[in-house]
Structure 1
């Protein structure tokens, strides 16, 4: 009996280590810097949150996200969370940490590519509507219909008439979503000019991150002030009581993630829902069954 308990404890400890290892894998994206850039970054950034403190708070918040997910599924609620901000502001990082331990059948991420020629002829909001949640679902938009107020406006992909039409339509569109029963939350991740420059340099010098740096990102650097003006205009014209904007200071990635998740949890009145007790059934044993020996070429080679 004592031996069985010891084996169970060893197994549980191994599972917990795997959980922490998963977090460390995600954190590698922050660690893979050239030595020179790391020195500059640490001097500019200042002291980071201790890793143990960060993981402790992240795991606690992720446990609450599971409760939120279960409540949404149980009650049939519909939740939309929009993540906007400048390139490299940290939207993707917080989305990863939100979804890391959640059920993808309940919580999904929408990151739409540039519109096709056909989509360009549609009502602007049309291509976003099919991705809205049904009852019991949470949808996270990694960029959203606010592309028109930002990148499309600054880069000249939309005419000024189209931009003004967007500003006229979007408050009513979002009020319609809220009236339909959708909980709509809008986050803007804010970083400084200097911080964005540093993160772009990191992407340039890190082979694991170069894919994140598009020609559009590089062009956006030259138009920092235009993006700033567009952002300020967007806040002024789309910050409505039914769906206000929330700004997340993003220069410190770890604190930004924790603050955003913590704030999101405060906006939804979730509570623990009753769970059915789960029991593992006994395996049916057939003494006449003989397992076939499969040919070795079917197996993935054990290189590691």
Structure 2
């Protein structure tokens, strides 16, 4: 990078700056970017606290769903959003594959059971949109089940909205090279190896199939009343900032509420 400015020096000459410098292997440019990211994140987390305080006061019910390819950073983004807010008024939902009883139910039923009560925000780390992409790509549903889902989902979301629940839909997008890099990092990190699943192992091989179903999903379900927001996520820190900004833009909370 070019010559350091006094402002850059001041950023690095802080506890946060020194930690960033050490963690980034003495890469000055990356350390400065990370300090900037941490500052932005802290300010946005204060706003998320305001949003939650407003939701509690007004008995709002909010759903935020996160979709995206495997290793796109959905979980990491959710953690940054939720790490400072009141855990008693929010939930993170990451449902396992359905059990035998659930397989006999209406597809949306097990998701409805996780919907928020008054004053609560629920974050879905993958959602009913499993049936739009992951399931058909991997053969976990029939073509008929897929088509029924695609015919019902817009009406389902219209009912959600008409019942007074606020719905935010986020898709985190990474390219094929970045996904391969992240998979490699996961496989070589003993603390993260548990994240790799058989579905993840096949994701690169099935990349084009995922792309085909993803495009069909957007074409059908990116509606005026329930739009998708695509977040470019090759850089995790930038993606997290953009995700929080979008949620704050999408939910008309009281920015002057006391917290």
* Shorter-normalised TM range: 0.7 to 0.9
| Structure 2 Cα separation of the partners of residues 61 and 197 of structure 1 | 30
Aligned equivalents of 1:180 and 1:266: distance in 2?
A: 21
- 1:69 to 2:74 alignment: no
| Aligned partners of 1:74 and 1:273 also within 8 Å | no
Please give the alpha-carbon distance, in whole angstroms, between the structure 2 residues aligned to 1:264 and 1:48. 27
Query: How far is the alpha carbon of 1:135 from its aligned partner?
Result: 1.3
Q: C-alpha distance in 2, partners of 1:126/1:49? A: 47
Alignment of structure 1 residues 139-154 onto 2, 5 Å: 139-154=122-137
Partners of 2:245 and 2:187 lie apart in 1 by: 32
**Structure 1 residues 198-277: aligned runs within 5 Å:** 198-271=181-254, 272-274=256-258
2: CA distance, partners of 1:274 / 1:192:
41
Contact 1:49 1:255 in 2 (8 A): no
5+ residue gaps, structure 2, are 1-14
Q: Secondary structure at the match of 1:131?
A: coil
Q: Deviations over 1:37-71 (max 9, x none)?
A: x9xxx9xxx96871110110000000000000000
Larger Rg: 1
| Structure 1 stretch displaced more, 265-274 or 189-198 | 265-274
Unaligned runs of 5+ in 1: 1-16, 33-37, 276-304
Question: CA offsets per residue over residues 117-173 of structure 1, 9 Å max, x none?
Answer: 110110000001111011111100000000001111101110001000000000000
- Of the three residues 158, 178, 187, the one matched with 2:141 is 158
Of the three residues 72, 79, 84, the one matched with 1:96 is 79
RMSD, aligned α-carbons: 2.2
Structure-to-structure mapping, 1:281-300, within 5 angstroms:
none
Query: How far is the alpha carbon of 1:264 from its aligned partner?
Result: 0.8
Q: 1:231 to 1:173 in 2, by over 3 A?
A: same
**Alpha carbons 1:106, 1:138 under 8 Å: kept:** yes
The separation in 2 between residues aligned to 1:136 and 1:249, in whole angstroms, is 30
3-state SS of 2:108 partner: helix
Q: Which residue of 1 aligns with 2:116?
A: 133
Q: What is the TM-score normalised by the length of structure 1?
A: 0.75
* Equivalence for 1:10: none
Partners of 2:70 and 2:31 lie apart in 1 by 22
Identify which of 85, 88, 97 aligns with 1:114: 97
Tell me if the contact between 2:50 and 2:258 (Cα under 8 Å) persists in the aligned partners: no
TM-score (norm 2): 0.87
TM-superposed deviation, 1:105: 1.2
**Partners in 2 of 1:164 and 1:214 — Cα distance?**
26
Q: Against the structure 1 CA distance between its residues 47 and 192, is the aligned structure 2 distance closer, same or farther, given a 3 Å change threshold?
A: farther
Distance 2:227 2:252 in 1: 17
CA distance in 1, matches of 2:135, 2:233: 23
Q: 2:234 is paired with a residue of what secondary structure?
A: coil
